[in-house]
Chain A
């Protein structure tokens, strides 16, 4: 079904569907679920774009990719030029094309989307990135590294915020070192988001692109312990610091039984599986133990990832227990749908009051209450109210708690003059990323609380811009001894 617009451009109302791995098959392997467009489909999808002059789509993208332009190039089949265009703004296109919540970002205001389905911007972006990665012969290298500015910048944390900030600063000629606590770079992209949604090879390749810009990454470096931010600034000659340490601290509910064996935080469950590759145990050394019946508490993306991971690890039943109703699930619709297809069960309006264990201290189930939704509260969400006398027991031999994460306090605790809010998030100026401490900037989940990859990247970009301006305007001596200024 096509319509004609004044311009003569054909309107194709529907997105080209994303080919998926068969749902029965995929629930038992860790291969990527979404297989990606092929060449023809990518061209066809890009051709749906109306090339709007005002590009409302770009305004919805936190890193402001020139979307109509890259789609125009892609529609011509010129994917090399398209990826170059994307990379002007986005260092991690293979990641973003896969995990951005496009429906609430770039695709939300797509003109086509007003009457029809928006252009599937993310899927085309993913194709461009994969196209480049697959093209080993003729790699579209990043622009030449510019001459050194003479300034040194330290980045704490190698998640999307830190990596983006690092890449942008390196492009300005600053000498950038990223300090990462873990043994790999990537943050949640490596330890949290499962292989079947975001293959680790993609993250590694995109991290390498950042390193190719001249960024140094020091792994196994826990800032606050190995070195403090004060030392980086006062003793090691760094002129500015960007903090992108994320929200890695898992929350628990504070109900009895949470320390029983077999109760994992989602972070532990996913870290064992993704970062430490427990699904390949014993070839890899880290084990994970999983029961027949796994219950995941929570309703966000993290809960969906944990429930789907449980199936792949061999659980017979994987159940999401969520205290509100389906409508309120904070997870992306697509993730919920995939979870349903794979056989994850959902118990809505249910919440545990107590976890139960056997005589050996191993979890055996939980005592739950049923809930009803009350009137909308101040935030407009209808808060759940317990139904009297609705106590019941749900059996489980593994429980994964996925009710949210907060910031780790190590950096604020060891840095002089760095203000945080009540939740422990670092306070940063939303316009600049500047913190209460001069020369120290912050962004990503550590400032906003758990959010999204692309928002963290936007914050990293903003931090880089502000640090660049800060360095140029400051009269600090350049430690690397370059003239200028």
Chain B
């Protein structure tokens, strides 16, 4: 059992849980994730380690409530427990120590991009952050990101905060301004359409671009193959070969199809959960 030490509510659908898991907090590195199972009957779901504190023995998980499991997770309070937390899983981000890196976080993707930004900056890179959300309400960790980056840009789809538009708008301007040869790496983490858009843009400039893929998973340890995805024409398991891959090589359509295959089932599970709880279904499911 893993105790929830702290809960923060970023928005109605975005929450942070800080969980006591001292061994994971000690061994994890940016880019890695955990598989959690809320209770005995729960499914195993992957969540990125958004922050970790080896001294306090905690890891932070930031998640968006989209289906039954994440809603149920969001309903847990400080002092309550998550039954299983396994990790750290996946390869850590490869951190290098010089040059400019552009780190793009979309939606809840701001959470996983944060420790990566912090690490690149610590290593000595010039870190440019771009974070975007649908609206101001959904944006979080501006201050943390601002401290972890040398410069930070913000966009909202509806213009309710800073700049109206998409992260790719800023990305394009920055590439033009800095020059593609001066950018060592772009990393984009967020909803699939956003990562895909970033890759389409950077591909034209031939800038190496990494994405962190959120395939469906069952075990998260390389045992089932549920998370498989085609990268550069060969099959990879996101949980053990990734989760980061060269975004220019990813078969996005296949990934999208595979991640929505259980949509009907997940939706019915969510509806049952919400009718039992007397909640109204928020209906925000799907890929965002």
Q: A residues near B, CB below 8 A? A: 181-183, 191, 219-222, 225-227, 248-250, 252, 258-259, 261-262, 264-265, 267-268, 271-272, 276-277, 280-287, 289, 360-362, 408, 410
B265 touches A252 (CB 8 A): no
Q: With a 10 A CB-CB cut-off, give which of B37, B218, B257, B272 has the most chain A CB atoms.
A: B218
What CA separation (Å) do A438 and B37 show in the bound complex?
A: 37
What CA separation (Å) do A452 and B225 show in the bound complex?
A: 22
What CA separation (Å) do A183 and B37 show in the bound complex?
A: 9
Known A-B contacts: A183-B84, A226-B24, A267-B225. Give 9 more (CB < 8 A). Answer: A182-B219, A219-B86, A222-B89, A226-B87, A259-B230, A265-B226, A267-B224, A272-B218, A281-B265
What CA separation (Å) do A272 and B32 show in the bound complex?
A: 24
B225 touches A410 (CB 8 A): no
Q: In the complex, what's the smallest C-beta–C-beta distance from A290 to chain B, in angstroms?
A: 11
Query: Which B residues are CB-close (under 8 A) to A252?
Result: 225, 235
A289 touches B262 (CB 8 A): yes
Q: In the complex, what's the smallest C-beta–C-beta distance from A254 to chain B, in angstroms?
A: 8
Known A-B contacts A181-B221, A248-B222, A287-B266; A261 and B261 likewise in contact (beta carbons under 8 Å): yes
B258 an interface residue at 8 Å Cβ cutoff?
yes
Which B176-235 residues sit within 8 Å CB-CB of chain A?
218-219, 221-226, 228-230, 235
B253 an interface residue at 8 Å Cβ cutoff?
yes
Query: Which A residues are CB-close (under 8 A) to B262?
Result: 287, 289
B223 touches A408 (CB 8 A): yes
What CA separation (Å) do A80 and B69 show in the bound complex?
A: 46
Closest residue of B by beta carbon distance from A192: B223
Can you name 24 A-B residue pairings with CB atoms under 8 Å?
Answer: A183-B37, A191-B223, A219-B84, A220-B86, A225-B32, A225-B89, A226-B27, A226-B87, A226-B88, A249-B222, A258-B235, A265-B224, A265-B226, A268-B218, A271-B223, A271-B224, A276-B43, A282-B269, A284-B43, A285-B41, A287-B269, A361-B258, A362-B261, A408-B221
Q: In the complex, what's the smallest C-beta–C-beta distance from A424 to chain B, in angstroms?
A: 12
Q: Which of B85, B224, B257 contacts A261 (CB 8 A)?
A: B257
Known A-B contacts A220-B86, A225-B87; A268 and B41 likewise in contact (beta carbons under 8 Å): no
B43 touches A286 (CB 8 A): yes
A268 touches B225 (CB 8 A): yes
Q: In the complex, what's the smallest C-beta–C-beta distance from B127 to chain A, in angstroms?
A: 26
Q: With a 10 A CB-CB cut-off, give which of B221, B230, B262, B272 has the most chain A CB atoms.
A: B221
Q: With a 10 A CB-CB cut-off, give which of A183, A284, A410 has the most chain B CB atoms.
A: A183
Query: Which A residues are CB-close (under 8 A) to B230?
Result: 259
Query: Which A residues are CB-close (under 8 A) to B23?
Result: 221, 226-227
Number of interface residues of B (CB under 8 A): 43
B44 touches A222 (CB 8 A): no
What CA separation (Å) do A277 and B40 show in the bound complex?
A: 11
B268 an interface residue at 8 Å Cβ cutoff?
yes
Query: Which A residues are CB-close (under 8 A) to B69?
Result: 285
What CA separation (Å) do A361 and B254 show in the bound complex?
A: 7
Query: Which A residues are CB-close (under 8 A) to B265?
Result: 281-282, 287, 289
Query: Which B residues are CB-close (under 8 A) to A227?
Result: 23, 27
Known A-B contacts A225-B87, A265-B225; A259 and B218 likewise in contact (beta carbons under 8 Å): no
Q: Which of A225, A249, A283 contacts B223 (CB 8 A)?
A: A249
B240 an interface residue at 8 Å Cβ cutoff?
yes
Query: Which B residues are CB-close (under 8 A) to A362?
Result: 257, 261
B87 touches A284 (CB 8 A): no
Pair count A-B, CB < 8 A? 121
What CA separation (Å) do A261 and B259 show in the bound complex?
A: 9
What CA separation (Å) do A32 and B262 show in the bound complex?
A: 29
What CA separation (Å) do A219 and B87 show in the bound complex?
A: 11
B68 an interface residue at 8 Å Cβ cutoff?
yes
B54 an interface residue at 8 Å Cβ cutoff?
no
B285 an interface residue at 8 Å Cβ cutoff?
no
Q: In the complex, what's the smallest C-beta–C-beta distance from A111 to chain B, in angstroms?
A: 42
Q: Which of A225, A268, A280, A285 contacts B43 (CB 8 A)?
A: A285
Closest residue of B by beta carbon distance from A287: B265
What CA separation (Å) do A416 and B29 show in the bound complex?
A: 20
What CA separation (Å) do A378 and B93 show in the bound complex?
A: 46
B221 touches A276 (CB 8 A): no
Where chain B touches its partner, the secondary structure class is mixed
What CA separation (Å) do A23 and B223 show in the bound complex?
A: 32
What CA separation (Å) do A280 and B223 show in the bound complex?
A: 22
Q: Which of A225, A265, A268, A285 contacts B269 (CB 8 A)?
A: A285
Q: In the complex, what's the smallest C-beta–C-beta distance from B228 to chain A, in angstroms?
A: 6
Query: Which B residues are CB-close (under 8 A) to A289?
Result: 261-262, 265
What CA separation (Å) do A252 and B225 show in the bound complex?
A: 9
Query: Which B residues are CB-close (under 8 A) to A226?
Result: 23-24, 27, 87-88
Query: Which B residues are CB-close (under 8 A) to A272?
Result: 218, 224
Query: Which B residues are CB-close (under 8 A) to A360?
Result: 257
Known A-B contacts A287-B265, A287-B266; A222 and B235 likewise in contact (beta carbons under 8 Å): no
Q: In the complex, what's the smallest C-beta–C-beta distance from B244 to chain A, in angstroms?
A: 15
Question: Which 4 residue pairs are nearest across A and B when measured between Cβ atoms?
Answer: A287-B265, A220-B86, A268-B224, A361-B257
Q: Which of A268, A282, A408 contacts B272 (CB 8 A)?
A: A282
Query: Which B residues are CB-close (under 8 A) to A267?
Result: 223-225
Closest residue of B by beta carbon distance from A268: B224
Q: With a 10 A CB-CB cut-off, give which of B43, B219, B240 has the most chain A CB atoms.
A: B219
B254 touches A259 (CB 8 A): yes
Q: B14-35 CB contact bits vs A (8 Å, 1 = yes)? A: 0000000001100100001000
Q: In the complex, what's the smallest C-beta–C-beta distance from A281 to chain B, in angstroms?
A: 7
What CA separation (Å) do A280 and B40 show in the bound complex?
A: 13
What CA separation (Å) do A276 and B272 show in the bound complex?
A: 19
What CA separation (Å) do A222 and B21 show in the bound complex?
A: 14
A262 touches B261 (CB 8 A): yes
Closest residue of A by beta carbon distance from B261: A261
B41 touches A183 (CB 8 A): no
B83 an interface residue at 8 Å Cβ cutoff?
yes
Query: Which B residues are CB-close (under 8 A) to A225?
Result: 27, 32, 87-89
Query: Which A residues are CB-close (under 8 A) to B85?
Result: 220
Q: In the complex, what's the smallest C-beta–C-beta distance from A204 to chain B, in angstroms?
A: 13
B42 an interface residue at 8 Å Cβ cutoff?
yes
Query: Which A residues are CB-close (under 8 A) to B225?
Result: 250, 252, 264-265, 267-268
What CA separation (Å) do A219 and B240 show in the bound complex?
A: 19
Q: In the complex, what's the smallest C-beta–C-beta distance from B274 to chain A, in angstroms?
A: 12
B43 touches A181 (CB 8 A): no
Q: Which of A249, A259, A262, A282 contacts B235 (CB 8 A)?
A: A259
What CA separation (Å) do A289 and B235 show in the bound complex?
A: 22
Closest residue of B by beta carbon distance from A181: B221
Query: Which A residues are CB-close (under 8 A) to B32?
Result: 225
Known A-B contacts A259-B254, A277-B41, A287-B262; A222 and B223 likewise in contact (beta carbons under 8 Å): no
Q: In the complex, what's the smallest C-beta–C-beta distance from B143 to chain A, in angstroms?
A: 31
Q: B84-119 CB contact bits vs A (8 Å, 1 = yes)? A: 111111000000000000000000000000000000
